[in-house]
Amino acid sequence: MSKIFIFLCFNILALGNLAHVSSAHKLGIYELKKGDFSIKVTNYGARVVSVILPDKNGKLADVVLGYDTIKEYMNDTGHFGAIVGRVANRIGGAQFTLNGTHYKLDANEGTNMLHGGKKGFSQVIWKVIKHEKRGPSPHITLFYHSADGEEGFPGGVLVFVTYTLSEPYKLSVTMKAKALNKATPVNLAQHSYWNLGGHDSGDILSDELQIFASHITPVDKMLIPTGEIVSVKKTPYDFLSPHVIKTPIKELPNGSKGYDINYVLNGYKTKKMKPVAVVYNKKSGRVMKLSSNSPGVQLYTGNYINNVKGKGGYVYQAYAALCLETQGFPDSVNHLNFPSQIVTPGKTYKHYMLHTFSSKKD
């Protein structure tokens, strides 16, 4: 654990009523800017509101889906740009047993829990504890205190996320969490919806995608992992070699409209940074390379987006963007063969993402 992180934890604890500190903080939108590369973040859900990048001809565009106002984010059900948790993705039956104690959670997707429940981290106000708009490394750090028993989870947790810009066109996301008094699952994810052609450019089906994963964790009809880890070879889930997204969608099983599956990243047993994915939009020439220290990544192709009025009044439809949510495996609390996401008091959860953007001519 870094000395800076320990310092932040002790200083925030000294503030006393942490829940009050977080909920009382005013809502705002904060910009980070480095040349013609900029992002905006709101402390409602620690969400990325915009990411503006040049294309192969130097033309700027916003490449993430979103809304014009914070009020619209409050009514959002798709977690646009948010940090989701305490446990991202799904927990089967909204329950688990840890150290002999059974915990019943707040179900918000049928009988299951999705992205932390009805009041997950995407729907709370975070406190901005540092913001540097410009400079060598523009960055913003946000903090949230998740109380003992929140959405049914055990123990209090201090959560920090930092967004940083660096050259050339790099966006890093650092997520850390410290369990205060009880062992608890923690699995945070950054839930931006990417369309490298521009948020208002149509669908992403013609984008070229590569994912550095030879296996997936298959799911049942409720999208809960079965506990298996299976090869992508000779299946429509194989993106080991780059190809356009639309080609294999029609081959997905069980009438699936698109992708919503966890990929087991190659080298997933190590916590070191590793390549995750590469996305290429031919029309704009924009490329996004993603790396992370997480064991998995959820590929979601926006299958259920339907008539969502977004930024500038543009109406988003199915496949308007894709999500690449680096994460621990879904429902890991109920599958002992999956990498553990349990954080014990005194230990720190650390999740890193690095997005490297570029552009190329045909």
State which H helix or E strand residue 298 sits in: strand 296-300
What is the rounded distance in angstroms from the CA atom of residue 28 to the CA atom of residue 136? 23
- 332 annotated ligand-binding residue: no
Is 167 in the active site? no
Token output for 261: 């599956």
- 90 annotated ligand-binding residue: yes
Token output for 211: 């994912």
Owner of token pair 């020439």: 285
DSSP three-state, residue 195? coil
Q: Please provide the DSSP assignment of 313-334 as one string.
A: GPEE-TTS-BEEEEESPTTGGG
71 to each of 32, 63, 128, 219, 226, how far by Cα in Å?
A: 21, 21, 19, 34, 38
- 187 annotated ligand-binding residue: no
- 237 annotated ligand-binding residue: no
Selected catalytic residue, list 79, 115, 151, 325: 325
What is the rounded distance in angstroms from the CA atom of residue 171 to the CA atom of residue 160? 16
Selected catalytic residue, list 79, 115, 145, 191: 191
- 23 annotated ligand-binding residue: no
- 192 annotated ligand-binding residue: yes
Is 150 in the active site? no
Measuring CA to CA, which residue among 239, 262, 241, 263 is closest to residue 251? 239
Residues comprising the binding site?
89-90, 191-193, 260
Catalytic residues: 191, 325
Residues comprising the binding site for beta-D-galactose?
89-90, 191-193, 260
